Amino acid sequence: MKLLTLDAPGIDEYVDKLENEVHDIKSEAMNLTWIMRGGIQYNDTLNLSKSERLIIANISKSNMETTKKTGLPFF
């Protein structure tokens, strides 16, 4: 419905916005896949909601900070 209400430049802008969102989702998914070291597959991360990806990213960030503070190896 949104596309029906837009003119040609508006459609181009909307498509660009959607392409950027897709890029961000793929980037988040690949980052989580790398961080999880095989604990979750790329296709599975794509099926997570934004909220779920954010929760996993926050847990990973917290774990990395704890690792730095304790001096334990992370990688």
Q: At what angle do helices 50-70 and 8-36 cross, to 10 degrees?
A: 40
Note down pLDDT in tens along the chain; length 75 residues.
Answer: 788 889 999 999 999 999 999 999 999 999 999 888 888 999 999 999 999 999 998 998 898 898 889 988 765
Domain residue spans of the chain? 3-68
Angle at alpha carbon of residue 70, lines to 68 and 75, rounded to 5°: 50
Report the pLDDT value the prediction gives residue 74, as an integer from 0 to 100.
65
What's the predicted TM-score (pTM) here? 0.73
Report the pLDDT value the prediction gives residue 75, as an integer from 0 to 100.
59
